[in-house]
Structure 1
């Protein structure tokens, strides 16, 4: 835990809060929430041999941090980038089972980012991403994807679409695209008061997916009071095939509108 807190402390003060070709910047959302989950997936932990599965609480901390680093420029409008995103579910306060991190997803990416005026988009990415939860045996989850993304990342209205091809996955989650599909879509609308944001994925063939809705009330130009709701499959890798609802309240690092 201490090494991740040190990493956050070192990286966040130097972040730019918009995607840039030549600076370390925030990539996906970064936040920390106290949350309640409607249907914690205890059976997966029981099947995986986690002895304290029955002691897991439906109130836990959810946090996520994400940043990108330019590796080398390709042109004035393109750079090779590295990004890292981590999402964790922490049973903070559950002292009966030593307050474990019940799930952490690690997602490194290497990609080409290009920025120019492309009609309704101004940012494009193509690259590789790996995501796994660092577990073993039946609790292990991972997948590897080649992806492409188109985004509009400035102004009061921002949006993007990302599509991927899965070329390697864990035996334990071989059917992951049945629940997470082959794409996701995000959008946000903001002003000086706050920002409404959403992200979703959906598989039309299986009629399964998941959606996140959030609202951030600006406190200052760097952070906001953040409320988030989740419904569906795939909030984390351990729950990729488990339908659940979560509501959370906390703080979020805020990019400018």
Structure 2
């Protein structure tokens, strides 16, 4: 199933890249600058998902999905030198002497492939995110990539306009998400999720919540048994912008009271 999902989403992304060669000059003339820095950060969710005019840019126009960044040097106190799957049938990889200092980068893009799907509302998007950990300073090991993860997804976003004072619900959505390290079967680490999402604004804050359910895989097909106990089952992203500076807080939790695990990242 995961291979079929990955193939389908890859084909959609190829269509997006090919169609990006359309007349971008005409698009720029017909649509105002929708940069989040244009005139501050008002209505960030409308801009991010092109929920209404004048932010709509039509279909097959690439834009940032998740943050795109390069970290030239990061320190990890305990890098995973021998990742092991909980699936007993998966091969145990060779121990590798990875360094604690490495580079990290992420590339994340999305494009709308269908606009106004239901009653002239609701858009279909495809997205792709690649995150890599590069042992660029590890000359003894010929500077390998310690880990690279690929995450294509298909998303349906429906605009909402529900308000209560400063609290505004802006959209709801659903997505099919595949995440994989792109390696062969015995070393493969992949899983598939159905994600429900909603986004709202409260004053100057933009907040996105995701709640997901993993697609069940049985026996040898399961690369990551119990991965949701570690990666989590829900995520909150809180964003705030001051002039041209964006601050964000990401919170994840596995929603397991007995064996609770969480994740927090501020940037």
Q: Deviations over 1:224-256 (max 9, x none)?
A: xxxxxxxxxxxxxxxxxxxxxxxxxxxxxxxxx
| Residue 80 of structure 1: aligned partner | 124
In the aligned structure 2, how far is the partner of 1:123 from the partner of 1:154?
A: 14
1:141–1:118 Cα change, 3 Å: farther
| Residue 110 of structure 1: aligned partner | 154
SS class of match (1:41):
coil
In the aligned structure 2, how far is the partner of 1:82 from the partner of 1:154?
A: 27
1:143 alignment partner, one of 178, 191, 215: 191
Q: Does 1:201 align with 2:249?
A: no
- In terms of Rg, which structure is larger? 2
Deviation at 1:193, TM superposition (A): 5.3
1:143–1:180 Cα change, 3 Å: same
SS class of match (1:92):
coil
Structure 2 gaps of 5+ residues are 1-16, 29-33, 37-47, 51-55, 85-90
In the aligned structure 1, how far is the partner of 2:120 from the partner of 2:138?
A: 51
Q: Does 1:36 align with 2:75?
A: yes
TM-score (norm 2): 0.67
1:71 alignment partner, one of 104, 113, 119: 113
Q: Deviations over 1:66-120 (max 9, x none)?
A: 1111111215431111111111111112121111111111111112112231333
TM-score (norm 1): 0.70
Contact 2:234 2:255 in 1 (8 A): no
In the aligned structure 1, how far is the partner of 2:68 from the partner of 2:201?
A: 16
Contact 1:44 1:139 in 2 (8 A): no
Question: What is the root-mean-square deviation of aligned Cα atoms in Å?
Answer: 2.8
Q: Deviations over 1:21-70 (max 9, x none)?
A: 6343211111111211111111327x74336x02x111111111111111
Deviation at 1:143, TM superposition (A): 0.7
| Residue 53 of structure 2: aligned partner | none
In the aligned structure 2, how far is the partner of 1:115 from the partner of 1:106?
A: 28
Contact 1:157 1:189 in 2 (8 A): yes
In the aligned structure 1, how far is the partner of 2:128 from the partner of 2:76?
A: 26
| Residue 62 of structure 1: aligned partner | 104
In the aligned structure 2, how far is the partner of 1:193 from the partner of 1:70?
A: 26
More displaced 10-residue stretch of structure 1: 183-192 or 112-121: 112-121
Q: Which has the higher strand share?
A: 1
